[in-house]
Structure formats: C-alpha cells, structure tokens
Amino acid sequence: MTLLHHEHPTHEHTHGPACGHPAVEHEGHVDYAHDGHLHREHDGHWDECERSGHVAHDGHAHQHGPDCGHTAVTHGDHMDYVHDGHRHAAHDGHWDDH
C-alpha cells in the first residue's frame, strides 16, 4: 500500500523528540500526531501521513480501547491505536491498518 503525498504547506511547527506531540513509529518513519493529523517529514517539508485505499488488518483478535495499553492518537474524526508499528482504527466490525 502506498502513502499519499499530501504536503502540509502551512506547517510552521518543527516536530522532534521534544516538541510535545506524540511520536509514532510507522513503516520506517516517524509520524507526529498534531491537531488530529499525522505529520511526517519528507524532502524538507511536512506531509499528512495517509494511506491510499482501505487496508483491513486481518486476524487482529486484540480489542483496542481506553485500557488496552497501546498509545491512542486522534486521527481525523476517530482514534487510532499504535500497535506493532501500525496504527489501527475500528471500521465496520474489524480493524484497519492506517
């Protein structure tokens, strides 16, 4: 699955280990959760980190929630849970890989 290249052109904040936003390891890079978006550095600017298409995480028996032990980050109008280098989101009775 490819990542869409949506540049965040008005992003003046520089993310990093001490910026105060949750850092999420994701497919070989780090996303920063900021105002309901996930930003990643790319070629000297910040991109919205979004996959193209729908990717179900098959065989995911674990149920995420407030007490599941995984980091929760706001992503648009829902909550993603960081689990094994992926962000999982509830969708139509299964978990999606974000």
Domain regions of the chain by residue span: 3-55+68-97
Higher pLDDT, 27 or 20: 20
Q: How many CA atoms lie within 13 A of 2 on its CB side?
A: 3
pLDDT category of residue 10 using cuts at 50, 70 and 90: low
User: What does the pLDDT read at residue 1?
Assistant: 43
Strands (E), 1-98: 3-7, 23-26, 29-34, 37-42, 45-51, 72-75, 78-83, 86-91, 94-97
51-56: average pLDDT: 66
Asked if pLDDT for residue 57 goes beyond 50, the answer is: yes
pLDDT category of residue 6 using cuts at 50, 70 and 90: low
Q: How much is the mean pLDDT over the chain?
A: 77
